[in-house]
Amino acid sequence: MARQISDRNKKAEEKKKDLLEFIARFSANASKSRQATSRKKALEKLVIEEIEPSYRKYPGIIFQPLREVGNQILNVENLKLEGEGSTLFSNVTFSVNKGDKIAFVSRNPLAVTSFFNIINGLTQPDGGSLEWGSTITTAYLPLENNDFLPKN
């Protein structure tokens, strides 16, 4: 409903802008003054509905950087982790630079969780290394976050 009103308002705003431009250009022109007067009347009849702002508040966790990052964000080389009798991941090598957009995808959610635990210093890898850029300050909110929230 609000979206329909918003779309109508957008069209009405565009029409209002066009009418105002026409009136400004041709109100002094003798041959177009009737049209300009007609458009002034149309402008007065134009209705733009008020949309009441929502009072809903959505919870959010916002990570604010302490300073601008440098070009090097993270370098990971040959990272390996074994767990529960099998290899969760091995030979993971990549670099993240400023402006990169990345996604982590795995068939095993434990592998992704374990990977994030390693890069945040909560778990040690079975092999390989990682290095954060010198301008990086890390923050992490794990999937299991009961330790961060009040018990009540």
Percent of the chain with pLDDT strictly greater than 70 = 89
The verdict on residue 23 lying in a domain is yes
DSSP state of 54: P
Q: Which regions in the chain score pLDDT beneath 50? A: none
What does the block give as tokens for 58? 């959505």
The verdict on residue 62 lying in a domain is no
Query: How much is the mean pLDDT over the chain?
Result: 82
Helix (H, G, I), strand (E, B) or coil at 8: helix
pLDDT of residue 29: 75
What does the block give as tokens for 60? 């959010």
The verdict on residue 150 lying in a domain is no
The verdict on residue 55 lying in a domain is no
pLDDT of residue 76: 95
Q: Please tell me whether residues 130 and 78 are part of one structural domain.
A: yes
Query: Based on the structure, what is the number of domains in the chain?
Result: 2
pLDDT of residue 3: 66
pLDDT of residue 94: 95
What is d(CA 147, CA 15) in angstroms, rounded to the nearest whole number?
55
Instruction: Report the DSSP beta bridge partners of residue 94.
Output: 76
Residue 29: Cβ-neighbour burial (10 angstroms; 0-12, 13-18, 19+): exposed
The verdict on residue 106 lying in a domain is yes
Q: How many residues does the chain have?
A: 152
The verdict on residue 59 lying in a domain is no
Query: What domain range includes position 23?
Result: 2-45
Q: Please tell me whether residues 81 and 40 are part of one structural domain.
A: no
> pTM of this prediction?
0.55
